[in-house]
Amino acid sequence: MAAKIFTLEEANRLIPKLRAILAGIMEKRDKIAARQKEVYAIRRIIDGNGHNPEALGLAAKERELKELINQLNEDIEKINSLGCELKDIHLGLVDFRSIREGREVYLCWKFDEDEISFWHDLHTGFAGRQPLF
């Protein structure tokens, strides 16, 4: 399947929708990190002195962790299905394939930016961001 090519206007129109999806992704990311710490701590207790995993709620925490990961993956797929590419869930970094000066590039947007103001070559990534204007 060929990658979707966006104009700047098309990509900017997606920003409100992306911002909402990314807010959910970031919230789930934080919850996943917290649950992973809880699961790890319970496993250390169990390994250290043989406590009953059920008494410590390990199975419930693991189910919750798995569900959060599934929800996170669904949100990531929502972004991918729009034709753009989620590059970093910590920065809320999204790239949109576009054409600039006759070649394929990425329009680059971060969660804390109001609109797309940067682009970079396909191979340079975030470090190669350049202003659009």
- The closest alpha carbon to 45, from 62, 60, 32, 57, belongs to 57
Cα–chain-centroid distance for residue 12? 18
**Residue 107: in which H helix or E strand, if any?**
strand 103-110
- Give the residue with greater pLDDT, 1 vs 96: 96
Domain membership of residue 3 (yes or no) is no
User: Does 61 reside within a domain?
Assistant: yes
Q: What is the pLDDT of residue 57?
A: 84
- Position 19 in a domain: yes
What's the rounded Cα separation, in Å, for the pair 89 and 94? 9
pLDDT, tens digit, 9 for 90 and up, residues 24-56 = 999 999 999 999 999 998 888 887 776 666 667
- On whether residue 1 sits in a domain, the answer given is no
Q: What percent of the chain lies above the pLDDT cut of 90?
A: 82
Looking at the structure of the chain, the number of domains it has is 1
Encoded tokens for 31: 């919850």
Print the domain residue range for 104.
8-131
Tokens 């996170």 sit on residue: 72
Q: What DSSP letter does each residue of 67-78 carry, written as one string?
A: HHHHHHHHHHHH
> What are the pLDDT digits (tens) for 51-84?
666 667 888 999 999 999 999 999 999 999 999 9
Alpha-carbon distance of 129 to 124, in angstroms, equals 8
What pLDDT was estimated at residue 124? 93
Residue type, 110: K
What integer pLDDT is reported at residue 89 of this predicted model? 94
